Amino acid sequence: ETGVTQTPRHLVMGMTNKKSLKCEQHLGHNAMYWYKQSAKKPLELMFVYNFKEQTENNSVPSRFSPECPNSSHLFLHLHTLQPEDSALYLCASSQDLGLETQYFGPGTRLLVL
Amino acid sequence: GNSVTQMEGPVTLSEEAFLTINCTYTATGYPSLFWYVQYPGEGLQLLLKATKADDKGSNKGFEATYRKETTSFHLEKGSVQVSDSAVYFCALSRTDKLIFGTGTRLQVFP
């Protein structure tokens, strides 16, 4: 049990659909992250939130829209995605920003048709 | 810039064999270094870390030593088990970010 949960675990969507990924951390951490994991590529950091404020947007296309209503919850809203967006989306949290250990959720496996 | 390079996999070993997975890094200053492991169907878990030169991180029989002179952080285990089969990621931490390598898949057969 890592203390970070993600739902759904699997998602199939068409290019015109709108869906949301949810992440919840039960560790009392202040920082949360979204990563994209594609085959044979390094993990790509997408967004960083610290105390509910976005501190990093790593040139992510606007079809990905994050939301952090509080320090325990993080959402990734998806709309008009492309097939190349198919990947494993990982959420992580850490006590604070900086050189802190990050704790990862199990990920959402997304397939865009 | 900052980057991490790992050996390409898969690494295939028999149970009880010795494991080495190479990791080298490029970074300004003195980053912290990490090994994360991803078991099938799961997210990444921290395996071990080292925060300064010559530190040795260890956990579950795995070890890695922070070598500043060779900019390396190789992962080793003396005797692997089938349950160690997973993908292993080397990472460094700089300016609030974790920068990962591409991962190395380890397959251990009985």
For residue range B20-36, what is the model confidence (pLDDT) as tens digits? 999 999 998 889 999 99
Comparing C-alpha atoms, which of A84, A101, A79, A83 is closest to residue A92?
A: A101
Shortest distance, CA B81 to any CA of chain A (angstroms)? 22
Q: Give the residue-averaged pLDDT of A102-112.
A: 94
In this prediction, residue A2 carries a pLDDT of: 54
Q: Give the residue-averaged pLDDT of B42-56.
A: 93
Predicted confidence band of residue A99 (pLDDT cuts 50, 70, 90) = low
**Chain B residue with minimum CA distance to A107:** B43
**What contacts A1, CB < 8 A, 6 or more positions away?**
none
Whole-number Å distance between alpha carbons of B62 and B37? 11
Q: What is the pLDDT of residues A22-81, one digit of tens each?
A: 999 999 999 999 999 998 788 899 999 988 888 888 889 999 999 999 999 999 999 999
In this prediction, residue B30 carries a pLDDT of: 84
Exposure b/e, A58-95, CB count within 10 A at least 16 = b: eebeeebebebeebbebbbebeebeeebbbbbbbbbbe
**What contacts A29, CB < 8 A, 6 or more positions away?**
A71, A93, A94, A95, A96, A103
> Cβ(B42)–Cβ(B89) under 8 Å?
no
Report chain B residues whose CB lies below 8 A from the CB of A99. 32, 51, 93
Q: Which of A40, A42, A101 sits opposite B49 (nearest CB)?
A: A101
Q: What is the pLDDT of residues B50-90, one digit of tens each?
A: 999 999 999 999 999 999 999 999 999 999 999 999 999 99
Measured CA angle at B51 (ends B41, B94), to 5 deg = 75
In this prediction, residue A53 carries a pLDDT of: 87
Q: Which of B45, B49, B102 sits opposite A104 (nearest CB)?
A: B45
